[in-house]
Amino acid sequence: MDRSNAFFWNGMDISFLDEIELSGGAFYEDGLQRDLLYMMANNGVNTIRLRIWNDPPGGFCNLERTLAMAKRIKALGLHFLLDFHYSDVWADPAHQTKPKAWESLSFNGLIHVVYDYTRMVLTELQAQGTLPDMVQIGNEITPGMLWDDGRVGGEEYNSEEQWAQFAALVKSGIEAAKAVDADINVMIHIDRGGDNETCRMFYDRFARLGVEFDTIGLSFYPWWHGTLDDLRSNLHDLALRYDKDIVVVETAYPWTIEPAEGRSFIVTSEEQLHEGYPATVQGQTDYMRDFIRIVQETPNGRGVGFHYWEPCWIPSKDEWSVGHANNWSNLTLFDFEGRKLKTLEVLKEVVRL
Is residue 3 in a domain?
no
Residue 185 within any structural domain of the chain: yes
Exactly one of 64, 124, 197, 250 is catalytic; which is it? 250
pLDDT digits (tens, 9 = 90+) for 46-82: 999 999 999 999 999 999 999 999 999 999 999 999 9
Asked whether residue 2 is assigned to any structural domain, the reply reads no
Number of structural domains (the chain) is 1
Catalytic residue among 140, 161, 258, 337: 140
Distance CA(299)–CA(304), nearest Å, equals 11
1 within some domain: no
| CB 305 within 8 Å of CB 251 | no
Residue 250 falls in the annotated catalytic set: yes
Indicate if 140 belongs to the active site: yes
Residue stretches of the chain with pLDDT short of 50: 1-5, 353
Per the domain annotation, does 95 fall within a domain?
A: yes
**Domain assignment of residue 111, yes or no:** yes
**Residues forming beta bridges with residue 12, ordered by sequence position:** 48, 308
Instruction: Assign residue 227 the CATH number of its domain.
Output: 3.20.20.80
Question: Is 4 domain-assigned?
Answer: no
Q: Is 319 exposed, middle or buried (0-12, 13-18, 19+ CB in 10 A)?
A: exposed
CA torsion through residues 5, 71, 308, 345, sign:
positive
- pLDDT of 203: 98
Which ranges in the chain belong to alpha helices (H)?
17-22, 36-42, 63-75, 107-127, 160-180, 196-208, 222-225, 228-242, 281-296
What pLDDT shows up at residue 1? 38
Q: Please indicate, yes or no, if residue 68 is contained in any of the structural domains.
A: yes
Q: What is the domain extent for residue 59?
A: 9-349
> What is the radius of gyration, based on Cα positions, of the chain?
19
